[in-house]
Structure 1
Amino acid sequence: MSTDTSSTPAHAPSTPFRTLGIVGTGAMGRGIAQIAAQAGLTVYLHDQREGAVAEAREFIAGIWARGVQKQRLNEVEAERHSASLKEAAKLAELAECDIVVEAIVEKLEAKQALFQQLEEILDDRAVLATNTSSLSVTAIASACRNPARVVGFHFFNPVPLMKSVEVIPGLRTAPEVTERVAALGKAMGHFTARATDTPGFLVNHAGRAYGTEALRILGESVTDPATIDRILVDQGGFRMGPFSLLDLTGLDVSHAVMESIYHQYYEEPRFRPSPLTRQRLTAGLLGRKSGAGFYRYVDGKPQVADEPPLPSVAPCPVWISPDNSEARQALSHLVDAAGWPLEDGDTPTSEALCLVAPLGEDTTAAALRLGLPPERCVAVDLLAGLDGRRSLMTSPATLAAYRNAAMALLGNDGTPVSAFNDSNGFVLQRVVACIVNVGSDIAQQGVAEPDTIDRAVELGLGYPRGPLAMGDHYGSRRILSVLDNLLAATGDPRYRASPWLRRRATLGLPLTTP
Structure 2
Amino acid sequence: MSLVGVVGAGVMGTGVAQNLATSGHDVVLVDVDPGTLADARDRIELECRMSRMLGGPDLDAEAVLARITTGTELELLAEAGVVIENITESWDLKARLYPKLDEACKEGTVFVANTSAIPITRLAGLTARPDKVMGVHFMNPVPMKPACEFIPGYHTSESTKDLVRELLVSMGKKPIPVNDASGFVSNRVLMLTVNEAAFLVHEGVADAATVDEVFRSCFGHPMGPLETADLIGVDTILYSVEVLHDEFNDSKYRPCPLLKQMTAAGLHGRKSGRGFYSYSAAGAG
TM over 0.5: yes
Matched AA of 1:151: M
Contact 2:48 2:59 in 1 (8 A): no
Question: In the alignment, what sits opposite 1:24?
Answer: 8
Could you tell me how far apart the structure 2 residues matched to 1:67 and 1:287 are?
A: 22
Contact 1:149 1:174 in 2 (8 A): yes
Larger radius of gyration: 1
Structure 1 gaps of 5+ residues are 1-16, 304-514
Q: Give the SS at the match of 1:253.
A: helix
Matched AA of 2:157: A
Q: Evaluate the alpha carbon distance shift between residue 265 and residue 66 of structure 1 in structure 2; reply closer, same or farther with a 3 A threshold.
A: same
Could you tell me how far apart the structure 2 residues matched to 1:206 and 1:267 are?
A: 14
- Which runs of structure 2 are paired with 1:188-203 in the superposition (5 Å)? 188-203=171-186
Contact 1:291 1:300 in 2 (8 A): no
**How many Å apart are 1:21 and its aligned residue?**
0.8
Matched AA of 1:43: V
User: Residue deviations 1:111-159, cap 9 Å, x none?
Assistant: 2332222222322221011112221211211121121111112212211
The match for 1:273 among 255, 259, 267 is 255
TM-score by length of 1: 0.50
**How many Å apart are 1:99 and its aligned residue?**
0.6
Could you tell me how far apart the structure 1 residues matched to 2:153 and 2:179 are?
A: 8
Number of residue pairs aligned between Structure 1 and Structure 2: 284
Could you tell me how far apart the structure 1 residues matched to 2:156 and 2:13 are?
A: 23
- Which runs of structure 2 are paired with 1:314-329 in the superposition (5 Å)? none
**How many Å apart are 1:64 and its aligned residue?**
3.2
Could you tell me how far apart the structure 1 residues matched to 2:256 and 2:64 are?
A: 44
Could you tell me how far apart the structure 2 residues matched to 1:173 and 1:21 are?
A: 19
Q: Does 1:177 align with 2:152?
A: no
Question: In the alignment, what sits opposite 2:29?
Answer: 45
Could you tell me how far apart the structure 1 residues matched to 2:276 and 2:99 are?
A: 40
Contact 1:214 1:228 in 2 (8 A): yes
**How many Å apart are 1:43 and its aligned residue?**
1.0
The match for 1:131 among 100, 114, 117 is 114
**Runs of 4+ off more than 6 Å:** 68-71
Structure 2 gaps of 5+ residues are none
Could you tell me how far apart the structure 1 residues matched to 2:248 and 2:144 are?
A: 30
Contact 1:21 1:97 in 2 (8 A): yes
Could you tell me how far apart the structure 1 residues matched to 2:140 and 2:257 are?
A: 26
User: Residue deviations 1:64-113, cap 9 Å, x none?
Assistant: 345579994375xx554333222355322221111111122222232233
User: Residue deviations 1:431-477, cap 9 Å, x none?
Assistant: xxxxxxxxxxxxxxxxxxxxxxxxxxxxxxxxxxxxxxxxxxxxxxx
Q: Does 1:115 align with 2:95?
A: no
- Percent identity between matched residues is 34
Could you tell me how far apart the structure 1 residues matched to 2:267 and 2:59 are?
A: 43
Q: Give the SS at the match of 1:207.
A: helix
Contact 1:258 1:273 in 2 (8 A): yes
**Which sits farther off after the overlay, 170-179 or 282-291?**
282-291
The match for 1:232 among 215, 239, 242 is 215
Could you tell me how far apart the structure 2 residues matched to 1:93 and 1:284 are?
A: 31
- Which runs of structure 2 are paired with 1:197-216 in the superposition (5 Å)? 197-216=180-199
Contact 1:225 1:243 in 2 (8 A): yes
Question: In the alignment, what sits opposite 1:167?
Answer: 150
User: Residue deviations 1:158-190, cap 9 Å, x none?
Assistant: 111122222211111112212221221111001
Could you tell me how far apart the structure 2 residues matched to 1:290 and 1:99 are?
A: 30
